[in-house]
Structure 1
């Protein structure tokens, strides 16, 4: 892929060391959402690092620059990049938890279906589209290159996701392919899954949540409501609750490996 623009400073990938020793040293691989970047999950990452997690936040291919880069990025490239990141962390010999927001949630599930992760954290994972036109994106991309931004579905008036100002329709087609792969793999996920679900979400429909719960047949699942938040809950009014319950879920997942 030829990149059209430099990565924005706010969306550069980052790694946070644990601020305190954990009972079981581990890494959390945290994945951001569609058209956004690491900035949107930084508070979540910092909250986990403060409790003893090492947190790696990659920049997904096609993101953090210009929407044209995302339009040129196929689904297999994005999926492969996530697996490489997870594989690199597993190679260190420590337990790995995968975490993701929206598209990042679908990618975390896709990784968990094919890699021996210790746990999964999901914030409003995108397994289905809200727009009835989105499934037609593979055809529409030849007629309509971009649509309006999907960014900043948040209740907090001070939050800014810093996502692309336009949404490339080719990118939507890639998301559809990632969603299908994640749905196919749900039955293979065995690690404990914690799902954070916002009370209002204009991006991911309730059908996505139902698909997730039906598909996770072999994994223990806990659903944590976020009553004051919208889609980008990692930057929203329930972020303290999100961090607190994520810390508990990560600790339980990695300590469960000792039993």
Structure 2
């Protein structure tokens, strides 16, 4: 029996990865679990949450699945990608998928470009058609500075575990990612020691890769990777 743990990103929630989770649930007999990290979800409450709590919550979910299932796949998006990498370094994970993993800090250059796009769409009266604006507009003011510090601490902490990952890994990044530089994929490819690694880039995708134009192709690629018989630890 197979279970798949899918971990969302910083200030996000299951909705960020639900299209992928639903695809896997519909096309496999696997148990798909998408937990909500402390302080996250539809209503943010990050004031007194630490990065250790995020790691603990994800690890507890993993250990619960480990008790019931023979094989475990772990998928992580953005900050969730770094948490997924941490779990794969500490425990037996059969397959690991990292989606726009936040191994490098936010790209200020591309953030500036996004701001320009938001302004442009606002002038055109198309602001509500801007995917990034719609996704993050309600979070402005809801994320305390301390939470951002905890995010940085988590990235720094989990980086040291990358060299301990030896299971098959798929790294996927959008070329238009305006929050985490696409070059992060190369960094992780270099740091992770596993002999079974694949890196895929999507030209049309931005940071919200599971919600973007390439999501259907993304779902197929992830499914194919997880199904590979030769990809064993």
The alignment's TM-score, normalised by the length of structure 2, stands at 0.82
Q: Name the residue aligned to 2:124.
A: none
1:69-148 → structure 2 map (5 Å cutoff): 69-130=45-106
Q: Deviations over 1:18-72 (max 9, x none)?
A: xxxxxxx3111001111111011110101111221321000011101544x2131
> Aligned-residue CA RMSD in angstroms?
2.3
- Tell me which residue corresponds to 2:139: 164
**Unpaired stretches in structure 1, ≥5 consecutive residues:** 1-24, 133-147, 149-155
Task: State the partner residue of 1:3.
Answer: none
Q: More deviation in 174-183 or 53-62?
A: 174-183
- Distance in 2 between residues matched to 1:186 and 1:119, nearest whole Å: 15
User: After the TM superposition, which residues 212-223 of structure 1 pair with which residues of structure 2 at under 5 Å, given as runs?
Assistant: 212-223=188-199
How far residue 256 of structure 1 moved from its aligned partner, in angstroms, is 4.4
Rounded to whole Å, the distance in 2 between the matches of 1:202 and 1:190 is 29
1:1-259 pair list within 5 angstroms? 25-52=1-28, 53-67=30-44, 69-130=45-106, 157=129, 159=131, 160-161=134-135, 164-166=139-141, 167-252=143-228, 256-257=231-232
| Counterpart contact for 2:7–2:81, Cα < 8 Å | yes
More helix by share: 2
Stretches of structure 2 that go unaligned for 5 or more consecutive residues are 109-114, 116-127
Q: State the 1:93 CA deviation.
A: 3.2
Is the contact made by 1:30 and 1:99 (CA closer than 8 Å) also made in structure 2?
yes
- Contact persistence 2:174–2:182 (CA under 8 A): no
Count how many residue pairs are aligned between Structure 1 and Structure 2: 210
Deviations 1:93-133 (A, max 9, x none): 3211110110111111011110101011111000121257x
| Greater Cα shift, 204-213 or 105-114 | 204-213
State the TM-score, normalizing by the size of structure 1.
0.75
> How far 1:88 moved relative to its partner?
0.6
Runs of 4+ in 1 over 3 A off after TM superposition: 156-163
SS of residue in 2 equivalent to 1:70: coil
